[in-house]
């Protein structure tokens, strides 16, 4: 991945703005469309499989039309090496979908608000990366924001959803560690990693959703057993599922491309600020589309989590500049990091909605 981190001519402000807006629109569409479908379906894992399958099809079509910068490949040795990455991806996406199913769209960011503290903790345990005092203070701030949202929200909430959110945060933190090793397996290509992750996740998830007991509900959904119970002026569960799968599958593929572009043209701070904007926008859209209630406790929680996350990115930027200054006389340079390492929501491949 050295070529992507190599210093070069800075991207134009117009290009950076375009990439950030592209990512924001795709990410927001993913969250809202996911919530729209998950409100009506009893098959969240099958819904996830449909998203992955559509993304895989779009990868194949784009490759056949020579629209991708690199050709797609399939190698069994590479598949075996990506086992831990794929396993974490399936768990992360599944838990993320279950989180969004049980909590409001406006509360989703709070439920998954522990990504940053878990990431710092995981890096310390597995990568022996000792965090500075300022980093720990940022993590404490984010953790405080999470607890404010959970205990001072003032509205009825699903503890099951919160539990899935915490589990999803822990998986995302582990994912940010494993992805560093996985990139080495695919020669540093984020596009190849996204292709393999989507493909293998779809293959493995197919039998898992049957083992999870969704087979009966999938049959009911596909063959319209409940169609007669649907009011005439309401979209049927199958139509909602198909449209939602198509939208989120396309957006998941677009976010894979957006991630690739963002690595090349944006900095960690730019992405973190855009994530903050996305968090606020998601809360407002949840209030508008799904009539979520934004209490003062929930608003304060979101604000604290976002402030702590942005502060963390700024501190990492300053520490990176200090390290670069000690190693090189070039001023103002720092290593760009992958979106997956600082993503708080998402998925991130399909961007962890």
Residues 6+ positions from 205 with CB-CB distance below 8 Å: 45, 48, 49, 52, 90
Cite the DSSP H helix spans in the chain.
2-5, 13-38, 44-64, 76-81, 83-102, 108-111, 115-126, 133-151, 159-185, 190-211, 215-222, 237-265, 268-289, 296-327, 339-342
CA distances from 143 to 112, 139, 212, 255, 305 (A): 11, 6, 32, 28, 8
User: Which of residues 175 and 214 earns the better pLDDT score?
Assistant: 214
Residue 6: per-residue pLDDT: 42
| Least confidently predicted of 139-143, 186-190, 258-262 | 258-262
Dihedrals phi, psi of 351, to nearest 5 degrees:
60, 50
User: What is the rounded end-to-end Cα distance, in angstroms, of the chain?
Assistant: 26
CA distances from 283 to 106, 184, 288 (A): 4, 37, 9
Residues paired with 347 in a beta bridge? 351
Q: What is the mean pLDDT of the segment spanning 124-135? A: 88
Give the separation between CA 130 and CA 5, rounded to whole angstroms: 23
In terms of residues, how long is the chain? 353
Q: What is the pLDDT of residues 72-105, one digit of tens each?
A: 999 999 999 999 999 999 999 999 999 999 998 8
The answer to whether position 215 is within a domain reads: yes
Q: What is the pLDDT of residues 7-19, one digit of tens each?
A: 455 666 777 777 7
Q: What is the pLDDT of residues 230-245, one digit of tens each?
A: 555 567 788 889 999 9
Share of the chain above pLDDT 70, in %: 79
- Supply the angle between the helices 190-211 and 44-64 in degrees, to the nearest 10: 150
Closest CA to 112 of 38, 167, 188: 167
CA distances from 162 to 99, 107, 208, 250 (A): 7, 9, 23, 28
Per-residue pLDDT at 24 exceeds 50: yes
The answer to whether position 208 is within a domain reads: yes
Residue 135: per-residue pLDDT: 92
Residue 187: per-residue pLDDT: 86
Per-residue pLDDT at 201 exceeds 60: yes
Q: What is the pLDDT of residues 42-54, one digit of tens each?
A: 899 999 999 999 9
Give the tokens for residue 316: 């990492």
Per-residue pLDDT at 200 exceeds 60: yes
Q: What is the mean pLDDT of the segment spanning 10-34? A: 78
Residue 276: per-residue pLDDT: 66
The answer to whether position 195 is within a domain reads: yes
Q: What is the pLDDT of residues 143-184, one digit of tens each?
A: 999 999 998 877 778 899 999 999 999 998 887 778 778 888
Residue 196: per-residue pLDDT: 94
Give the tokens for residue 221: 């959904």
If one counts the domains in the chain, the total is 1
Per-residue pLDDT at 61 exceeds 70: yes
Per-residue pLDDT at 340 exceeds 50: no
Mean pLDDT value across the chain = 80
The answer to whether position 193 is within a domain reads: yes
Closest CA to 342 of 316, 304, 303: 316
The pTM of this model reads 0.80
Residue 19: per-residue pLDDT: 75
The answer to whether position 139 is within a domain reads: yes
Q: What is the mean pLDDT of the segment spanning 314-341? A: 60
Measured in whole angstroms, the distance separating CA 120 from the mean position of its chain's CA atoms is 17
Residue 1: per-residue pLDDT: 36
Residue 346: per-residue pLDDT: 40
The answer to whether position 351 is within a domain reads: no
Cite the DSSP H helix spans in 266-295.
268-289
Cα angle: 81, vertex 87, 93; to 5 degrees:
135
Give the separation between CA 164 and CA 114, rounded to whole angstroms: 12
Domain extent at residue 139: 13-227+237-323
Q: Taken in order 133, 173, 22, 244, is the CA torsion positive or negative?
A: negative
Confidence band, pLDDT 50/70/90 cuts, at residue 5:
very low
């Amino acid at each position: 991945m050295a070529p992507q981190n190599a210093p070069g001519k800075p991207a134009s402000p117009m290009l950076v703005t375009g990439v950030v807006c592209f990512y924001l629109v795709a990410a927001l569409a993913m969250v809202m469309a996911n919530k729209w479908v998950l409100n009506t379906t009893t098959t969240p894992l099958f819904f996830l499989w449909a998203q992955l399958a559509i993304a895989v099809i779009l990868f194949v079509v784009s490759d056949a039309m020579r629209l991708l910068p690199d050709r797609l490949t399939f190698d069994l040795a590479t598949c075996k090496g990506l086992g831990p990455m794929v396993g974490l991806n399936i768990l992360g996406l599944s838990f993320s979908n279950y989180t969004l199913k049980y909590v409001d769209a406006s509360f989703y960011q709070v439920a998954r608000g522990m990504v940053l503290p878990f990431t710092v903790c995981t890096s310390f345990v597995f990568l022996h990366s000792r965090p500075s005092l300022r980093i720990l203070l940022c993590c404490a701030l984010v953790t405080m924001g999470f607890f404010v949202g959970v205990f001072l929200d003032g509205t009825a909430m699903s503890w099951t959803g919160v539990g899935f959110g915490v589990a999803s945060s822990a998986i995302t933190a582990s994912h940010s560690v494993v992805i560093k090793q996985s990139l080495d397996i695919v020669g540093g290509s984020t596009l190849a990693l996204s292709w393999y992750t989507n493909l293998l996740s779809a293959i493995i998830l197919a039998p898992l959703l049957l083992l999870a007991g969704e087979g009966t509900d999938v049959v009911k959904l596909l063959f319209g057993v409940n169609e007669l119970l649907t009011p005439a002026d309401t979209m049927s569960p199958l139509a909602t599922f198909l449209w939602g799968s198509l939208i989120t599958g396309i957006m998941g593929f677009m976010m894979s491309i957006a991630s690739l572009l963002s690595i090349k043209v944006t900095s960690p701070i730019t992405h973190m600020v855009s994530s903050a904007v996305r968090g606020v926008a998601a809360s407002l859209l949840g209030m508008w589309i799904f009539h979520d209630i934004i209490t003062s406790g929930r608003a304060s929680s979101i604000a604290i989590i976002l402030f702590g996350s942005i502060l963390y990115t700024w501190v990492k930027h300053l520490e990176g500049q200090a390290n670069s200054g000690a190693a090189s006389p070039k001023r103002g340079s720092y290593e760009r990091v992958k979106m997956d390492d600082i993503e708080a929501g998402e998925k991130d491949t399909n961007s962890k909605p």
